[in-house]
C-alpha cells in the first residue's frame, strides 16, 4: 500500500487519494506552473489512521521520511540543516471543505534553525516573528491551547519592554510561549522538526472529525468515510519584505460571472493575516499598480489554469521577494447567475463543449434566478427566528397574517397558518409567501405554493400560533400580526424584519443555456398546471405540455369551491345533479382556456381526487353559508360533515373510489373535457386531451370507469355530430397497481406515476404526518434523503421500474411518465432517465430545473 506521494507523482485524476489541494498541486507541477514543492500524505493513510486507533504507525512515519528525502533534494533545503527547510502542513479533502479543517505554517523552526535562518535572510526580526506564529499555531492545532493566550502574552511583553531591543523581546516571547505550552500540556515543546511534523500530521487527520467538519459534511452530503489528505509544502514567505505578499483571487467574478480577475491581497503578509481579518486586504486590481509584472503574470497563469481545468478557478498565491508562487487552485464556488454566465461564455470562448457546460450548473440553484435571494451579507446580520422545511423555492418578505381573509386586505403579507386548506387559496395567491406549522414537502400548502411559484416554508413546528391574541411565539420571540418577517424557501429559515434581496435575473444567457439542454435531453418535461395562468408560465419556461392538471385544484378559487362542496355534500341524486350541472359549466370553460394556452401540446386531465378533508367547510361562517346554499339547516350540514369525515383521509373515499360510488362525477368531467376540446377544434385550436384516472389499485376500477366515461364521450360525439382523438390512461399510485401493471396496461393508453401517493402507500408513511418524525430518521442516519422530495430508489423506485417494465411488455405503445413532486428533483430525474420513462412533469417553476437535470442525466447515462 502506498501512503505518501510526491508532487511529482500523479495529478488531479488522483484527487480521491491526494485530496483536492494535493491533486491540483501535483497537476500544477505537471504542467510546469510555479508552485513550492511538496509531498502529500494520502487519504489512504487517513483511513488507516482512523481504522487503527488514531495513531501514526511506524510504516507511515517511515514513508513520510522517505518522501521527505525527495522534498529535501528538490528544494536543496533540509530539516534542521544549514539551509533549513520550513513547511506548511495543511488538510485537503477530496471535496473542498473551505475553512473546516486545520493548517500549520512555518513548521521546522527551533532555536537553532531560527538562528541559521536569521543569517540567511539577514533579518532576525522577520524570522522570530515566524517563530512566534509557529509556536502559537502548533500549540492551538496540535494541543488545543487557545491562541488568545499567546497573543496576549506577546502583547503584554512588548508593552512592558518598549525601550528594549525588539529581538530580545521576541526571544523572550518565544521562551515564555514554550513555558506556557509546558504548563498546559506537561510536555516540552518539540524541538525536532520530524517530531513536529508527525504531531502535525496526527492533528490534521484528527481535524477531519472536529465538530464543524462533521456538520459541514452533514449539510453538504459529503461521505464521512472519505478522509482527508495532508499537504506538506515548502514555505514561501509573503511577509518577507515589501515585494512580498499573499492573496486569493478568482479567475472570473464569482458573483456576476464577468470575465475579470476578482479577489484581494495584502503585501507583507502571510495567508492567515487575510483570513484573520486583522488587516483589510486590497482589491486585486490594485496589484496592477503596485506590482504590475506580478499582476500580469498572475492574470496569465489564472487563464492557463482555467483553460486546463475547464472551469473558473479560485486560486491562492504568495509573492516572495518579487517572485510569484501558486499555493492552491480549485474550481471556484459561484452564484447561480454567474454559474450560467460562465458556462455559456466558456462555450463561446471554445473552452467547453455544450455538453461539458451543461454539467457545470447545479439545476437546483436555477429557481433562484427567477425568484432572487437574500443578500448573504444581510443574512449574516439578520435575526433568525426559527427554521422549518424548504417547501417551495424563493424568498419572501412581508407582514405576518394569521388568516387568509386578512391577507386579502394587506399588501405584502406572509400567511402563517397551522396548515393550509382550499379556503386559503386566495390568501396564498395574494400572499408574498406562506409558512405552515404542520405539513411536509408534498403537503397541500407546499404543492400549491410551488405551483404558483410562491416561496413557502412548511412544517415549522417551532411556531405556536395564538389566534385570539393574533401573535405567534417562536424560540423566545413574540411576533405580532402585522410585523415583518423574511422567509427563505431554499433553507426553511424565518428571519425577523426585512432582509435585503438580490435581483432576480432571467436573461439571454439562461435562455441560451436552456436551449442547449433542450437539444440534448431525451426525457420530455411537462408541467403540473391547473389554471391557464400556470400553463402560460410553464410554457414560457419551456414545458412541453401538461402532465398533470389536478381538476380539484380548479375549484380552489373562492367562489368555485362552493360548487364542489355542494357536490361532495349532496346526499341524493337530485342534489348531486344540480351541483354537477354547475360543475360542468365551470370545468368546460376552464378546460377550454387551458387548451387554448397550450395549443397543440398534450394536456393530461386528472379526474377528481380530493382528499375530502381538504374541501369540507371548517369555519362556522362557512358551514352557515353551505347551509344556505343547499337550503338545509346547519345541524344537517354538520351531520353530513361528520359522515363524510374519513378517519384516514389519505386512504379514504378519494380518487377513483369516489367515481365507483358516484360514476356521474367522472362522467360529467369527461363530458366537460370533450365538449371543450370540440369547441377548440371548431375554432381551429389543436387539442390533444388525455383523461387520467387517479389512485387505482387494479384493472377493475379502470375498466368500470373507462366503460362509463367512454359511453358518455360517445354521447357527446353523437350530440355534436363530430369527434376528436383522445386517450384514457391511469395514474400509478399504489403498490398493487405497479405489481399488476401488465393487466392494467391492456386497458390504459398511458401511465403516470403519482410518486407522492406511491411513496406514501409503499412506505406506509403519511405525506402529511411524516413531517413530525422524519427529522429523527435523518438524525439517526436511517434516511439519507427525504423520500417525499427525492425518490426512494431502492423501494418505491423498484415499483416504478417493475410497473414500467410490466406495462411496456403488455402494451408496447404505452406512454409512461411521472407527475409526483419528484418530477422536479434532479436526483429523482436521474433515476427516471435510467428507468427509461418518457417524461417527467413538475410545477411550472421547476420546469427549468427539470430540463437541465434531464439533459445532465442523459449526458451522464449515455
Ligand atoms: C401523486 O400522488 O404523486 C400525485 C401527483 O397526485 P396528488 O399529489 O394530487 O395526490
Ligand atoms: Mg396522488
Q: Which of 74-78, 162-166, 280-284 has the lowest mean pLDDT?
A: 280-284
d(CA 300, CA 293): 11
H runs (alpha helix) in 360-494: 366-371, 376-381, 404-407, 425-430, 444-452
Cα distances (angstroms) measured from residue 535 to each of 541, 588, 591, 747, 824 = 10, 16, 11, 29, 16
Q: What is the DSSP letter of 462?
A: T
> For 739-749, what is the mean pLDDT?
98
Task: Report the nearest atom of ligand 1 relative to the CA of 760.
Answer: 2
pLDDT bucket at 444, cuts 50 / 70 / 90: low
* Contact present, 569 and 491 (Cβ < 8 Å): no
Of 819, 822, 837, 839, the residue with max ligand 1 atoms within 8 A of its CB, to mutate for a pocket test, comes to: 819
Tell me what pLDDT residue 451 has. Answer: 66
Phi/psi at 817 (nearest 5 deg)?
-140, -175
Tell me what pLDDT residue 570 has. Answer: 86
> For 801-830, what is the mean pLDDT?
97
pLDDT digits 0-9 by tens, 164-193: 999 999 999 999 999 999 999 999 999 999
Q: What is the DSSP string of 304-370?
A: HHHHHHTS-EEEEEEEETTEEEEEEEEEPP--HHHHHHHHHHHHHTTSS-HHHHHHTS-GGGHHHHH
pLDDT bucket at 294, cuts 50 / 70 / 90: very high
pLDDT bucket at 775, cuts 50 / 70 / 90: confident
Helices vs. strands in the chain: H and E counts, helices first:
35, 29
CA of 847 to the centre of ligand 1 (A): 17
CA of 188 to the centre of ligand 2 (A): 69
Q: Is 482 left (phi over 0), alpha (psi -120 to 50) or beta?
A: left
H runs (alpha helix) in 721-795: 735-739, 741-745, 755-763, 774-779
> For 372-401, what is the mean pLDDT?
90
Q: What percentage of the chain exceeds 90 in pLDDT?
A: 73
Nearest to 3 by CA among 235, 227, 195, 330: 227
Q: Give 816 or 256, the one with higher predicted confidence.
A: 816
The catalytic residue among 46, 128, 371, 444 is 444
Cα diameter, the chain: 110
The catalytic residue among 46, 656, 819, 842 is 819
Phi/psi at 215 (nearest 5 deg)?
-65, -45
**pLDDT greater than 60 at residue 277:** no
pLDDT digits 0-9 by tens, 98-151: 667 788 999 999 999 999 999 999 999 999 999 999 999 999 999 999 999 999
Of 733, 753, 768, 837, the residue with max ligand 1 atoms within 8 A of its CB, to mutate for a pocket test, comes to: 733
**pLDDT greater than 60 at residue 395:** yes
pLDDT bucket at 438, cuts 50 / 70 / 90: confident
Q: What percentage of the chain exceeds 70 in pLDDT?
A: 97
> For 400-416, what is the mean pLDDT?
87
Q: Which of 25-29, 288-292, 447-451 has the lowest mean pLDDT?
A: 447-451
Q: Which of 10-19, 209-218, 688-697 has the lowest mean pLDDT?
A: 209-218
Judged by its nearest atom, the ligand closest to the C-alpha of residue 549 is 1
The CB of 820 under 6 Å from ligand 1? The reply is yes
Q: Is 444 a catalytic residue?
A: yes
d(CA 87, CA 160): 33
* Contact present, 312 and 303 (Cβ < 8 Å): no
d(CA 205, CA 201): 6
Q: How is residue 14 written as a grid cell?
A: 488522483
Tell me what pLDDT residue 527 has. Answer: 97
d(CA 783, CA 790): 11
Name, in order, each residue with C-beta under 8 angstroms of 415's C-beta and a sequence gap of 6 or more: 401, 402, 404, 407, 424, 427, 428, 431, 433, 434, 435
* Contact present, 41 and 229 (Cβ < 8 Å): yes
The CB of 819 under 6 Å from ligand 1? The reply is yes
pLDDT bucket at 217, cuts 50 / 70 / 90: confident
H runs (alpha helix) in 122-256: 124-143, 147-160, 166-185, 193-207, 211-220
Q: Give 569 or 136, the one with higher predicted confidence.
A: 136
> For 851-862, what is the mean pLDDT?
96
* Contact present, 107 and 134 (Cβ < 8 Å): yes
CA of 756 to the centre of ligand 1 (A): 5
**pLDDT greater than 80 at residue 423:** no
Q: How is residue 92 written as a grid cell?
A: 485537503
Task: Report the nearest atom of ligand 1 relative to the CA of 754.
Answer: 3
Tell me what pLDDT residue 572 has. Answer: 84
* Residue with grid cell 397497481, as numbered in its chain: 737
Task: Report the nearest atom of ligand 1 relative to the CA of 548.
Answer: 5
Tell me what pLDDT residue 442 has. Answer: 63
Pairing mode of beta strands 455-458, 433-436: parallel
The answer to pTM > 0.85 is no
Tell me what pLDDT residue 274 has. Answer: 63
pLDDT digits 0-9 by tens, 318-363: 999 999 999 999 998 887 888 999 999 999 999 999 999 999 999 9
Residue nearest to atom 6 of ligand 1 (CA): 754
pLDDT bucket at 385, cuts 50 / 70 / 90: very high
List the shell of residues around ion ligand 2, using CB closer than 5 Å: 733, 754, 757
Tell me what pLDDT residue 40 has. Answer: 98
728, with CB counted inside 10 A (0-12, 13-18, 19+), is buried
Task: Report the nearest atom of ligand 1 relative to the CA of 442.
Answer: 8
**pLDDT greater than 90 at residue 92:** yes
Cα distances (angstroms) measured from residue 224 to each of 21, 203, 231 = 18, 17, 20
Domains within the chain, CATH numbers bracketed? 236-332 (3.30.470.20), 368-496 (3.50.30.10), 523-555+577-611+660-764+814-861 (3.20.20.60)
> For 435-456, what is the mean pLDDT?
75
Nearest to 548 by CA among 534, 578, 528: 528
CA 249 to chain centre: 25
Tell me what pLDDT residue 690 has. Answer: 98
CA of 732 to the centre of ligand 1 (A): 10
> For 230-243, what is the mean pLDDT?
94
468-472 contacts at long range (C-beta below 8 A, 24 or more positions apart): 470/402, 472/400, 472/402, 472/416
Pairing mode of beta strands 323-331, 815-818: unpaired
The CB of 733 under 6 Å from ligand 1? The reply is yes
> For 604-618, what is the mean pLDDT?
86
Q: How is residue 422 written as a grid cell?
A: 382550499
Tell me what pLDDT residue 862 has. Answer: 86
Q: Is 348 a catalytic residue?
A: no
The CB of 206 under 6 Å from ligand 1? The reply is no
pLDDT digits 0-9 by tens, 504-556: 667 899 999 999 999 999 999 999 999 999 999 899 999 999 999 999 888 87
Amino acid at each position: 500500500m502506498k501512503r505518501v506521494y510526491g508532487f511529482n507523482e500523479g495529478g488531479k485524476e488522483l484527487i480521491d487519494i491526494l485530496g483536492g489541494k494535493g491533486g491540483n498541486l501535483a497537476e500544477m507541477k505537471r504542467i510546469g506552473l510555479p508552485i513550492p514543492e511538496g509531498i502529500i500524505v494520502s487519504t489512504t493513510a487517513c483511513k488507516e489512521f482512523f481504522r487503527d486507533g488514531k495513531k501514526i504507525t511506524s510504516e507511515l512515519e517511515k514513508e513520510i521520511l522517505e518522501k521527505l528525502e525527495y522534498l529535501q533534494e528538490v528544494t536543496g533545503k533540509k530539516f534542521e540543516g544549514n539551509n533549513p527547510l520550513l513547511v506548511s502542513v495543511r488538510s485537503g479533502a477530496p471535496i473542498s471543505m473551505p475553512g473546516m479543517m486545520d493548517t500549520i505554517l512555518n513548521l521546522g523552526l527551533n532555536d537553532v534553525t531560527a538562528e541559521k535562518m536569521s543569517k540567511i535572510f539577514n533579518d532576525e526580526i522577520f524570522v522570530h516573528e515566524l517563530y512566534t506564529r509557529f509556536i502559537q499555531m502548533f500549540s492551538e492545532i496540535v494541543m488545543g491551547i487557545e491562541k488568545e493566550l499567546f497573543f496576549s502574552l506577546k502583547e503584554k511583553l512588548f508593552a512592558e519592554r518598549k525601550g528594549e531591543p525588539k529581538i530580545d523581546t521576541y526571544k523572550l516571547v518565544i521562551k515564555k510561549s514554550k513555558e506556557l505550552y509546558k504548563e498546559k500540556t506537561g510536555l516540552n515543546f518539540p524541538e525536532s522538526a520530524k517530531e513536529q511534523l508527525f504531531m502535525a500530521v496526527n492533528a490534521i487527520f484528527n481535524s477531519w472529525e472536529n465538530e464543524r467538519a462533521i456538520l459541514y459534511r452533514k449539510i453538504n452530503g459529503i461521505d464521512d468515510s472519505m478522509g482527508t489528505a495532508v499537504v506538506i509544502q515548502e514555505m514561501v514567505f509573503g511577509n518577507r519584505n515589501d515585494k512580498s505578499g499573499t492573496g486569493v483571487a478568482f479567475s472570473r467574478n464569482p458573483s456576476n460571472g464577468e470575465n475579470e480577475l476578482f479577489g484581494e491581497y495584502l503585501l507583507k503578509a502571510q495567508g492567515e493575516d487575510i483570513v484573520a481579518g486583522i488587516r483589510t486586504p486590497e482589491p486585486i486590481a490594485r496589484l496592477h499598480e503596485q506590482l504590475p509584472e506580478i499582476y500580469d503574470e498572475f492574470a496569465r497563469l489564472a487563464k492557463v489554469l482555467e483553460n486546463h481545468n475547464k472551469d473558473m478557478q479560485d486560486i491562492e498565491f504568495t509573492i516572495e521577494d518579487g517572485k510569484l508562487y501558486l499555493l492552491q487552485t480549485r474550481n471556484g464556488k459561484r452564484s447561480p447567475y454567474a454559474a450560467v454566465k460562465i458556462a455559456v461564455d466558456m462555450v463561446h470562448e471554445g473552452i467547453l463543449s455544450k455538453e461539458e457546460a451543461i454539467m457545470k450548473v447545479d439545476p437546483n440553484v436555477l429557481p433562484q434566478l427567477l425568484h432572487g435571494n437574500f443578500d448573504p451579507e444581510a443574512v449574516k446580520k439578520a435575526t433568525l427566528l426559527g427554521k422549518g422545511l424548504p417547501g417551495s423555492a424563493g424568498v419572501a418578505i412581508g407582514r405576518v397574517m394569521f388568516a387568509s381573509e386578512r391577507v386579502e386586505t394587506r399588501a405584502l403579507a406572509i400567511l402563517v397558518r397551522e396548515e393550509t386548506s382550499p379556503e386559503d387559496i386566495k390568501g396564498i395567491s395574494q400572499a408574498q409567501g406562506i409558512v405552515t406549522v404542520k405539513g411536509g414537502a408534498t403537503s397541500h400548502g407546499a404543492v400549491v405554493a410551488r405551483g404558483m411559484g410562491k416561496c413557502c416554508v412548511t412544517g415549522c413546528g417551532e411556531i405556536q400560533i395564538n389566534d385570539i391574541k393574533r401573535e405567534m411565539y417562536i424560540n423566545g420571540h413574540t411576533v405580532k400580526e402585522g410585523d415583518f418577517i423574511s422567509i427563505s424557501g431554499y433553507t426553511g429559515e424565518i428571519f425577523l424584519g426585512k432582509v435585503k434581496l438580490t435581483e432576480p435575473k432571467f436573461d439571454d444567457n439562461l435562455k441560451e443555456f436552456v436551449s442547449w439542454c433542450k437539444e440534448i435531453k431525451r426525457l420530455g418535461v411537462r408541467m403540473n398546471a391547473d389554471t391557464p395562468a400556470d400553463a402560460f408560465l410553464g410554457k414560457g419556461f419551456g414545458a412541453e405540455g401538461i402532465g398533470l392538471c389536478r381538476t380539484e385544484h380548479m375549484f380552489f378559487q373562492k367562489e368555485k369551491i362552493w360548487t364542489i362542496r355542494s357536490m361532495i355534500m349532496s346526499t341524493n341524486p337530485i342534489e348531486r345533479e344540480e351541483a354537477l350541472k354547475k360543475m360542468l359549466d365551470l370545468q368546460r370553460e376552464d378546460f377550454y382556456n387551458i387548451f387554448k394556452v397550450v395549443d397543440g401540446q398534450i394536456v393530461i386531465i386528472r379526474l377528481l381526487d380530493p382528499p375530502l378533508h381538504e374541501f369540507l367547510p371548517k369555519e362556522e361562517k362557512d358551514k352557515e353559508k353551505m347551509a344556505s346554499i343547499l337550503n338545509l339547516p346547519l345541524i344537517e350540514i354538520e351531520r353530513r360533515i361528520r359522515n363524510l369525515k374519513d378517519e384516514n383521509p389519505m386512504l379514504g373515499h378519494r380518487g377513483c373510489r369516489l367515481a365507483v360510488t358516484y360514476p356521474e362525477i367522472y362522467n360529467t368531467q369527461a363530458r366537460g373535457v370533450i365538449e371543450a376540446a370540440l369547441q377548440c377544434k371548431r375554432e381551429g385550436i389543436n387539442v390533444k386531451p388525455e383523461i387520467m384516472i387517479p389512485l387505482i389499485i387494479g384493472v377493475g376500477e379502470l375498466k368500470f370507469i373507462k366503460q362509463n366515461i367512454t359511453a358518455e364521450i360517445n354521447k357527446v360525439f353523437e350530440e355534436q355530430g363530430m369527434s376528436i382523438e383522445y386517450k384514457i390512461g391511469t395514474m400509478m399510485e399504489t403498490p398493487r397497481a405497479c405489481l399488476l401493471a401488465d393487466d392494467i396496461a391492456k386497458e390504459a393508453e398511458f401511465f403516470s406515476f403519482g410518486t407522492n401517493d406511491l411513496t406514501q402507500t409503499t412506505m406506509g408513511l403519511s405525506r402529511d404526518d411524516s413531517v413530525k418524525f422524519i427529522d429523527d430518521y435523518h438524525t439517526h442516519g436511517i434516511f439519507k434523503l427525504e423520500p417525499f422530495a427525492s425518490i426512494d430508489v431502492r423501494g418505491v423506485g423498484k415499483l416504478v421500474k417493475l410497473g414500467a417494465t410490466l406495462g411496456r411488455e403488455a402494451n408496447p405503445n404505452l406512454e409512461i411518465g411521472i407527475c409526483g413532486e419528484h418530477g422536479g428533483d434532479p436526483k429523482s430525474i436521474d433515476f427516471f432517465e435510467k428507468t427509461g420513462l418518457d417524461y417527467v412533469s413538475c410545477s411550472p417553476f421547476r420546469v427549468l430545473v427539470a430540463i437541465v437535470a434531464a439533459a445532465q442525466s442523459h449526458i451522464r447515462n449515455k
